[in-house]
A and B are shown apart, each in its own frame.
Chain A
Amino acid sequence: MTRIALKVNGQAVERDVAPRRNLVDFLRDELNLTGTNVGCEHGVCGACTLEIDGAPARSCIAFAVACDGASVRTIEGFDDDPVMIELRAAFNAEHALQCGYCTPGMLVTARDIVTRLPDADEARIREELSGNLCRCTGYVGIVRAIVSVMAARKSSGGGR
């Protein structure tokens, strides 16, 4: 067991973890943060995407011990985030989710695209989404939702 101290959704957490424990299992099983879903456990599907130190990361291939000192933000930590509020409204309006299993990871990636690449065109958005698989929607609503949030932010001058 290794003692780690990190921030999760703004709160300080200190725990002993086994070196082989991956971050998503640690969050789900020990901190009861079950919003992050596990899809492939080898870093391809993107369902488990969350933020580590402000950047999207795969929590299924990140070890908890490697996150000592880091700041982790899961989907639960975005409840009141202004960009995420816009994205949730757009995902709902554009029917960007069906079963919802890829959605938390998809939203974390979408928020990263919106904030990091405010001028991205549709092709670039699709490329940026290539690390998040969705088996239900064919990505149509997801892309439309991201495009609509970017357009709305541009016209309101917000988020820049």
Chain B
Amino acid sequence: MTAPVEAGAKGVGASLPRKEDDRLMRGRGDYVANRRVVGLQEVAFVRSPMAHARVLAVRKPEGAEQQVFVLADLEGVKPIVAVCGLPGFRVSELQVLAGDIVRYVGEPIAMCVAATRAEAEDLAELVEVDLEPLPVVADMLAALTPDSPKVHAHWERNAFLESMVDDDLSAVKRDAAIVVRRTVRTARQCMAPIEGRAVVAEYDRRLDQLVVHSATQMPHINRTGIAECLGIDQASVRVVAPDVGGGFGYKGILLAEEICLGWYARRTGRPVRWLEDRYEHLSGNANCREHHYDITGYADASGRLLGIDCEAVVDAGAYSLYPFSACLESAQVSSILPGPYVMDRYRCHTYAAATNKPPILPYRGVARTGVCFAMELVLDAIAREAGREPWEVRMANVVPSDAMPYTNITNKYFDSGDYPECLRRTVAALDVPAWRARQKRGEPDGRRVGIGLAIFCEQAAHGTSVYHGWGIPMVPGHEQCFARLSPDGALELRIGAHSHGQGMETTLAQVANEVLGIDPARVRLIHGDTALTPYSTGTWGSRSMVMSGGAVAAACTVIAERVKAIAAHLLEAAPADLELADGDVRVSGTDHSMTLQEVAHAWYRQPQRMPPDIDPSGLETTAGYKAVRDTGTFSYACHACAVAVDTELGTVEILDYVIVEDGGTLVNPMIVDGQVYGGLAQGIGSALFEEMPFNADAQPLASTLADYMLPGATEMPTVRMEHMTIPSPITRFGQKGIGEGGAVAPPAAIANAVNDALHDLGVEITECPITPRRLLAALAEAKAGR
């Protein structure tokens, strides 16, 4: 449910159907793999089959010396290094092809080039690699013990970063009537966009420029990284991200493969491509979400939170990747664990553990999914101790409505919102009393019904002041947009962020409509090409609608002023009396007007009609934007669900699912709903299905999509969603970043519902995904313990 928008409206607030759909539905999407290049060769990588080993020798097949490349061949190529500025950060170097040591299964060892992918794979099979196994660090908790083997031999401890938010908890320990301590764990996952990574590298002789087409969320960052690793000027590199088949964080990274292919294309002048296949993705790139918490909640007898004490470990894998580094996730854990709650004391000790597993990347929601899972399980445990409904305990602990804007215990600035109202609406929508009554009656099929909820906040579009503190290779500043009204009155927008499902070709046209009154059908968005667009850190952190939306509005505002200046002269009116609407410039209160097209035509083709004092900059401009505060918008949501648990089969069916979310002003409510639904499906995957298990040798055990279970249409419940639209006071239209939230709460809400269903059997699940095996084991353990 959203606020009604004027019929026929096309600006901010309209559920305009997407402009980008038509080409994608006709099979005319322009994905990297669709690029046709004469003489294109294909690459297959030889990858490490061991999680930790010394590379003794790599022997190229005889006669294939010019087709197989190892690190020693890559003259002048530098390793990928992503340093984090937080004190004590331990630095790793990822060679783009293996050096002396390989540190995870899937690490590239050699690059094989042939006419077809099949022939390149044939070649890869003929490459002989001698590996001497080294002791493997497979588990993040074991990794931190003093006698653990080391992932990086010269490190004192297998930790990229240890950080501490300290506090004195003695008073809350003394006063707490309720103390709950839980061990909470989330599984390692694959992000699994349906399109894998993809790179085509070509050399443009005319411009002496390496042109890399890559399925990336951040073409400008990749360009910077590629140039740095190849040791060349950034002007010598152009990165193009055409249509990209899903990102979710998986494509927010500088790839070793991009460097290798870039080096080859520059050295030989020949075009070359690498398309990641699903086996490479599953076996070598399960790189997110693996957290462990030892968390204690202190509360008074009513369930009011007094303090949280937590030791959190994030499995960061073997290397620190560019640009987000190995520390982003663990640093976020300690800063966002308190979530939407008020508390007196807070202490959190976090580790980014190094293991012989794929290097960590931030997945949709980043650390939020894990911290929400940990906090919300603790809140439910407190509610059970207090003998109260979980929602009542949350009501007693969330930031009160009248406290906004609110600075929380970790100094996060909540820009706006009404958390109690969000809870109230969710509880009403789920109809808690009806479910409690049904629970009492029991199910005819013997299953057990339970309800659960989770509330969280999502800091998004956070900028300089947050990121410079982390000191990672990429700190976002102002965001820019280039806008040009063309001679036919159409509008061209160029942005440095990238749209790969978010619908920005539509939503940014709506922003232009809001400012210039131009029909979105006459707005064309150009993005994803470093040669054509302003520099940007790209699309991540639910930032684009706030940042690019703000930049587009800023550029359109400049264009609007210049249009008015010209029209004022031609219409013989004062600029202040002019208004822009429906593609026209009108003198307010009259029927005197001219079209944008007529203004543009006059500027470009009849300059003799311009006044002598006209602004010579014309109908094009680059304008920049930063939110009033760059600490981020705080969207938030409450998810609630009802589940039925089959204690014989260990299965969980979601019977009802409700989301109440505040994304501030919704630029396109239909697209916002789509983002939340999509996030929810991924969150349900995290909650119930998706897990990449590793054995003691850190070998990944799910190498096909029949083993790694992605949610399908039958796994998605019917969802009911409501929007609160409390505008953010710090953004251009009041919009808040909301792209990730759907994926944050489902594991917590579903686990709480399962625990509600099984509470009287003595079962409490604290690990996800809640697979049948895990659930049956918990049931058996509870039975044995009774």
Interface residues of A (CB under 8 A from B): 18, 20-21, 25, 28-29, 32-42, 44-45, 47, 74-76, 79, 88, 91-93, 95, 97-104, 107, 125-127, 129-130, 132-143
Contact = CB atoms under 8 A, between A and B. Distances in A.
B673 interface: yes
Given A93-B17, A99-B244, A101-B245, 20 more contacts: A25-B117, A28-B34, A40-B705, A42-B278, A44-B704, A45-B194, A45-B705, A47-B194, A97-B21, A98-B246, A99-B243, A100-B20, A100-B29, A130-B712, A133-B705, A134-B194, A137-B677, A137-B681, A139-B712, A141-B674
B245 A139 contact: no
A93 B681 CA distance: 21
B500 A42 contact: no
Given A79-B26, A92-B18, A107-B25, A101 B714 contact: no
A97 B278 contact: no
Contacts of A47: 194
25 contacts: A34-B31, A36-B27, A38-B33, A38-B275, A42-B704, A42-B706, A45-B710, A88-B25, A92-B22, A97-B21, A98-B246, A98-B674, A99-B193, A99-B195, A99-B243, A99-B246, A100-B25, A100-B243, A125-B713, A126-B712, A126-B714, A130-B713, A133-B710, A138-B681, A138-B719
A135 B678 contact: yes
A38 B674 CA distance: 24
A44 B680 CA distance: 21
Contacts of B36: 32, 34
B24 A100 contact: yes
Given A75-B27, A76-B27, A100-B29, A137 B674 contact: yes
A95 B671 contact: yes
Q: Which of B21, B670, B706, B714 has the most chain A CB within a 10 Å cutoff? A: B21
B648 interface: no
B500 A74 contact: no
A34 B33 contact: yes
Q: Which of A34, A41, A136 has the most chain B CB within a 10 Å cutoff? A: A136
B277 interface: yes
Q: Which of A92, A100, A126 has the most chain B CB within a 10 Å cutoff? A: A100
Contact of B245 (A33, A36, A37): A37
B454 interface: no
Interface string B185-212: 0000000111100000000000000000
Contact of B246 (A40, A136, A140): A136
Contacts of B192: 135
A74 B26 CA distance: 10
Given A37-B245, A95-B671, A138-B716, A101 B29 contact: yes
Contacts of B248: 135
Contacts of A104: 25, 27
A158 to B, nearest CB: 20
Given A133-B194, A138-B678, A98 B278 contact: no
Interface of B: 17-18, 20-29, 31, 33-34, 36, 116-118, 192-195, 243-248, 275, 277-279, 500-503, 670-671, 673-674, 677-682, 704-706, 710, 712-714, 716, 719, 742
B705 A42 contact: yes
Given A20-B118, A79-B26, A139 B704 contact: no
Nearest to A101: B245
A130 B713 CA distance: 6
Contacts of A32: 36
Contacts of A98: 246, 501-503, 674, 678
Given A44-B706, A45-B194, A136-B246, A92 B25 contact: yes
B708 to A, nearest CB: 10
B529 to A, nearest CB: 18
Contact of B27 (A20, A74, A91): A74
B704 A136 contact: no
A99 to B, nearest CB: 4
Nearest to B676: A138
A126 B713 contact: yes
B544 to A, nearest CB: 13
Contact of A143 (B26, B33, B277, B713): B713
A101 B18 contact: no
Contacts of B246: 98-99, 101, 135-136
Contacts of B24: 97, 99-100, 103
Given A75-B26, A101-B29, A140 B710 contact: no
Nearest to B674: A95
A38 B24 CA distance: 14
B719 A140 contact: yes
A104 B31 CA distance: 13
Contacts of A140: 673-674, 677, 716, 719
A139 B25 contact: no
A28 B27 CA distance: 11
Contacts of B117: 25
Q: Closest 8 CB pairs between A and B?
A: A35-B27, A100-B24, A101-B245, A98-B501, A75-B27, A138-B681, A138-B677, A99-B501
A95 B25 contact: no
B521 to A, nearest CB: 14
Contacts of A44: 704-706
Nearest to B680: A138
B678 A136 contact: yes
Contacts of B118: 18, 20-21
A40 B679 CA distance: 21
A91 B677 contact: no
B194 A39 contact: yes
Contacts of A126: 712-714, 716
A103 B25 contact: yes
Contacts of B23: 100
Nearest to B706: A44
Contacts of B194: 37, 39, 45, 47, 99, 101-102, 133-135
B716 A76 contact: no
Contacts of A137: 674, 677-678, 681
Nearest to B248: A135
A139 B713 contact: yes
B21 A99 contact: no
Contacts of B704: 40, 42, 44
B144 to A, nearest CB: 33
B501 A136 contact: yes
A64 to B, nearest CB: 12
A133 to B, nearest CB: 5
A135 B680 CA distance: 10
A42 B214 CA distance: 24
A9 to B, nearest CB: 11
A101 B31 contact: yes
A129 B677 contact: no
B148 to A, nearest CB: 35
Contact of B714 (A34, A40, A127): A127
Contacts of A134: 194
Nearest to B19: A92
B500 A99 contact: yes
Nearest to B719: A140
Nearest to A44: B705
A91 B674 contact: no
A49 to B, nearest CB: 12
Nearest to B684: A138
B17 A92 contact: yes
Nearest to A99: B501
B681 to A, nearest CB: 4
Contacts of B275: 38
Nearest to A36: B27
Q: Which of A37, A98, A142 has the most chain B CB within a 10 Å cutoff? A: A98
Given A92-B21, A129-B713, A130-B714, A101 B27 contact: no
Contacts of A136: 246, 501, 674, 678
A98 B539 CA distance: 15
A44 B118 CA distance: 21
A126 B714 CA distance: 5
B241 to A, nearest CB: 12
